[in-house]
Amino acid sequence: MRWLIINLFFFGFSLIGATRPHIVLVMADDQGWAQMGYMGHPYLKNQMPNLDEMAAKGLRFDRFYAAAPVCTPTRASVLTGRTPSRTGASGLHKRLCLQEKTLSLVLKNAGYATAHFGKWHLNGVKGPGMPILPNDLNHPGRYGFDFWLSMTNFFEMNPILSRKGKFEYMEGESSELMVREALQFIKSNKAKPTFSVIWYGSPHFPFICLDTDREGFPEGKHGDHLGEIVAMDRSVGMLRQGLRNMGVDKDTLIWYTSDNGGLEIDPDSTGHLRGFKGSLYEGGIRVPAIIEWPEKIKPANTRFPASTMDIMPTIIDLLNLPEDSMLDVVDGESILPLFKGKTPRRNHAIPFTTKGTALIDGKFKLLSTGPSRNRNFVLYDLEEDPSESKDISSDHPKRFLRMKTEAEELKASVEASELGKDYPEGHVIQAQRGTPWFEMDAYRKQYSIFQRLKPSWNPPSMKKESNKKKK
């Protein structure tokens, strides 16, 4: 990391000029790699004009990876630059350790106004989406967000969210609502650079969309799922147009991606790739990604492998922030040269430590989907065999051995991180366990208020409990 920051300092300075850009990170929830118009999806190819245009005018990645095949860990990687197993948020419903150095806190300390909009899923609260309480020990504000309008988990149309701890009923399509709020935040802080994180609740289950957004799609929930993607695309158009209306589009970097691979639905969400959400095969971790910064980033398509772990190192590099802005152990790397059409050099393979172990080194991928105590590795050539159908370990014994050795070193390093060895204290202060919100007293006390605001809402667990009381 030291080498990258020193050697790219002048590159980064010439790129951003004298000012620091607004930064908007946009993340879909369960959008598959093939679910983009420009990918030729049979239903979406003429239904996503905004992301198609963004891809044509920006930097489009064809090999971008979520750090994990499920959402909580990937979200942790975005804010830390680390493989999620190091951060406490190693799996679904885990807490992001408060000792982590987060991108939001780093940018706040650098003079940015910071905000989170939408799905949070880093506070260790299990269950359906619930507005986050002000006394939640792991609300977004604890990680450097000045403002937050957030939900514990997924949310749909007409949501009730938490505006810095205050429940608020909102009418409208959820993706558009989040963009509207983000634009207002940027407008209100126009005099200073802003960092906005927009984490959609779409197209995650239960798939609820506007009737007009599902026209021409298959009947049933699969069509509703696609309708949510159409609405997301429209919200991206709102975002880009809103920035133009404010005159800050050329001063704004937008980074769009998804939190994990697609769902096992029809038509296929992952194209020819093997696996889906929850799997370390390509279909579970390869996701759409586009970076747009008008007149600063040259339009291009790249097959350079990058990941959500690279977001924080790249932004820190771009802004010439101090080397100690991140912890000493970071798995992501700056991909800043791509912004000017140059190819970076990765210093190590991209690591994956959730739902198994994988390393991606150029065109090669080492994979084990078994438990860590009994790992059987295979080796794939992703250029020749993107569907991961042929184990080539016997054809490349030296590379196979080298990557297996690297995987064992990664395992030992991650185990040390899990014990808190990366933190100044040398140990983890906060226990990392998730609890269903309906078992937490603080949330139960607010449940009646939540029901009063939106009586139709009731999670399955609460429905069962209510039925018991009626009997």
pLDDT at residue 400, rounded to an integer:
98
As a whole number of angstroms, the distance between CA 25 and CA 198 comes to: 6
**What DSSP letter does each residue of 152-191 carry, written as one string?**
SS---SS-EEEETTEEEE--S-HHHHHHHHHHHHHHHTTT
pLDDT in tens, 160-195: 999 999 999 999 999 999 999 999 999 999 889 999
pLDDT tens per residue across span 418-468: 999 999 999 998 654 555 666 666 666 555 555 555 555 444 444 444 444
The yes-or-no verdict on residue 360 having pLDDT over 60 is yes
Neighbours of 17 (CB within 10 A): 10
Domains of the chain plus CATH, in order, are 2-340 (3.40.720.10)
SS percent in the chain: helix, strand, coil, step 5: 35, 20, 45
Beta bridge partners of 169: 160
Share of the chain above pLDDT 90, in %: 79
